[in-house]
């Protein structure tokens, strides 16, 4: 007897536009995102808030894609970066990703960058205009 993995509980009707039901209805849908239960989401957000380095953030981005299918891009914004709000954090559209989770991931990353501003500096250095000269 095999135990099925725990799936995230559905959001209250009308509270979210995640498309959870449509994802479950398709036979070939990627259900990895539904494994992100509320408790696991709290652990992920805590981990993102406590990043220690740019490589730590990049590893988390890679693991989020491998385990959940979440593509997360963190880069300097189009305009000048004067604060952590100038860092652009983009999450690709993903059926099953809750609206609240989509909002809380960038917030947690910004908190982590505020705790360790040197990570933001390394991120800016990694996207430097003159890096290929």
8 Å CB contact between 60 and 51: yes
Which pLDDT band holds residue 1 (cuts at 50, 70, 90)?
A: very low
What pLDDT shows up at residue 115?
Answer: 93
Domain boundaries, the chain: 20-126
- The three-state DSSP-derived secondary structure of 24-40 is HHCCCCCCHHHHCCHHH
Q: What is the mean pLDDT of the chain?
A: 84
pTM for the full predicted model: 0.83
State yes or no: pLDDT of 2 exceeds 70. Answer: no
More confident residue, 45 or 77: 45
């Amino acid at each position: 007897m095999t135990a099925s993995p725990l799936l995230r509980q559905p959001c209250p009707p009308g509270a979210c536009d995640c498309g959870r039901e449509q994802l479950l209805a398709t036979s070939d849908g990627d259900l990895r995102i539904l494994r992100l239960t509320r408790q696991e989401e709290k652990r992920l957000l805590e981990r993102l808030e406590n990043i220690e380095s740019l490589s730590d953030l990049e590893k988390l981005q890679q693991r989020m894609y491998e385990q959940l299918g979440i593509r997360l891009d963190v880069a300097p914004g189009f305009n000048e970066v004067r604060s952590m709000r100038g860092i652009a954090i983009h999450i690709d559209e993903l059926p099953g990703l809750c609206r609240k989770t989509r909002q809380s991931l960038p917030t947690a990353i910004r908190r982590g960058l505020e705790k360790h501003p040197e990570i933001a500096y390394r991120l800016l250095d990694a996207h430097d205009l003159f890096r290929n000269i």
